[in-house]
Amino acid sequence: MNSKEELIDSMIERGRKRYLMIKNYHLYLPAIKEACESIFGNCEIYVFGSVLTGKYTAGSDVDLLIKVPRAPKSLQERAKLKVKIEELAGLPDYHPFGFHIVDEEGFKWYMEKLKVNLKKIK
């Protein structure tokens, strides 16, 4: 097998693993919740998007709305927090989770403007 074939095989395998993570997303939520509570203290986590309707594909993500008392304002600070969640939850680099970190105002925006259907993680 040449390096091009190995690269393609590797990409296919990563895609397969990512799809399985989407399909079984609920198995990863306890670790993500624990990571978020470690970082933010008091927070609420909600799942929304295609995984709730069952209309996901291998290219979908698992959207998580993380409601915190004070959301970071800068993109750089948000990125650092997302990486910290990934590290503490032990997520691989190909994970499908999208972290949307919001405060009360941002939460209301998701509810009123986007009218998202949410499922709270307990």
Helix (H) or strand (E) holding 87: helix 75-89
Residue closest to 67 by CA, chosen among 35, 108, 98, 122: 108
Output the pLDDT for position 1. Answer: 65
Output the pLDDT for position 65. Answer: 98
Which domain range does residue 76 map to? 3-120
Give how many domains the chain has, as a whole number. Answer: 1
In this structure, what CATH number is given to the domain that contains residue 14? 3.30.460.10
Q: Could you tell me the pTM of the whole model? A: 0.92
Residue closest to 68 by CA, chosen among 36, 91, 98: 36
* Ordered per-residue pLDDT tens for the chain, 122 residues: 679 999 999 999 999 999 999 999 999 999 999 999 999 999 999 999 999 999 999 899 999 999 999 999 999 999 999 999 999 999 999 999 999 999 999 999 999 988 889 999 99
